[in-house]
Amino acid sequence: MKTIQLLIGCLAILAFSCKKHEVVPPPAPDGDALIAFHKNNVTDAEQHFVVNANAPISIVGEKGTILTLGANKLADSDGNLVMGNVDVTLIEITKKSEMALLNKGTNGKKLDGTRAPLVSGGEFYVSISQYGSEVTLTSPLEVKANPVFYTTNMRKFINSAPDGEDLIWEMAADSVVILEEDSLGEYMIFEIMPDEWGWLNCDYFYGDPRPLTPITLSFEDGYTLDNTSTFISIDGELVMLNYNLGVTLPVGLEVHFVTVAIIDDELYYSTQGATIVADHNQEIDDFTVTTEDGLMDIIDALP
């Protein structure tokens, strides 16, 4: 009897040991869902106004941005004066969290073509259309924005990215941004010229004399550059760089890396504080599920 029991036990152990070990697949972030996430956030941030093109236009955005244009200053694609109502679209971005969620980083392009961080005093999108077709300015449109901050070296930058989606900021030819005060408070003032519909930014290049170094990323299994978005926040500055648009950073700089992904329709994030070293490689790991509001709070709480 004991022999039979021993034999059964051995067979059970043998059967158990022959079972294949269950392989747990790595997470599968959805790159297409992440692209849609960023685009949906842009759409959600749009403010729409209907105004008469044949009367003076004055629009105030949710964050206090004022758009002003004289009457009869819009033309259609054939150069004819626009008559009747037009649709105005405005987006106001003033926080790092908005830059990350809308995928509108502060990567600047210098005259020599190299990329460098921009310190932003606010990003804006402005466009006017009629019946779904964009119309043209025949004179500058004035923008008055509540300043997040202002310095005399602040300039207007426009988007030079060829696809219009990812932002690569290049200083505009008419780059002057001034600060004025009236009975309602202080405003940054600049103009949108006839060929400048779309994204604009009030910035200056981040200055640091320390030697620059390239940045590389290493991801935990399942995560890649193609299915995540990584941003680099410079501590103490309104800088939120899109890693994929290319940048070098000064050795010794204090930063935070913020990476987002979508897995099974849920939002995941990873943050790492770092001091930039020569040939810096940053490990991106410890992803955690969160909500959109939760992610905004996390980013806005960064130094």
pLDDT in tens, 66-124: 999 999 999 999 999 999 999 999 999 999 999 999 999 999 999 999 999 999 999 99
| Residue burial 144-176, b: 16+ Cβ < 10 Å; e: rest | bbbbbebeeebbbbbbeeeeeebbbbbbbeeee
Minimal CA–CA distance to 171: which of 123, 204, 128, 127?
204
Low-confidence ranges of the chain (pLDDT < 50): 1-16, 18
User: Are 146 and 63 contacting, i.e. CB atoms less than 8 angstroms apart?
Assistant: yes
Structure token digits, residue 152 = 């005399």
- In this structure, what DSSP letter does residue 245 have? G
Contact assessment for residue 59 and residue 91, using Cβ atoms and an 8 Å cutoff: no
Task: State residue 4's pLDDT score.
Answer: 46
How far is the C-alpha of 84 from the C-alpha of 135, rounded, in Å? 12
Residues in the chain: 303
Token pair for residue 192? 């949108």
**The pLDDT value given to residue 182:** 83
Edge-to-edge strand order for the sheet containing 266-275? Answer: 240-242, 229-234, 254-263, 266-275, 288-290
Helices and strands in the chain: count of H runs, count of E runs = 4, 23
Number of alpha carbons in the 13 Å side-chain half-sphere of residue 136? 10
Per-residue confidence (pLDDT) for residue 185, from 0 to 100 = 85
Q: What is the dihedral of CA 147, 204, 103, 219, to 10 degrees?
A: -130
Domain boundaries, the chain: 40-205, 212-300
Single-letter amino acid code for the residue at 114: T
- Which stretch of DSSP H or E encloses residue 144? strand 141-145
The class that CATH gives domain 40-205 is mainly beta
Do 295 and 269 touch, CB atoms closer than 8 A?
Answer: yes
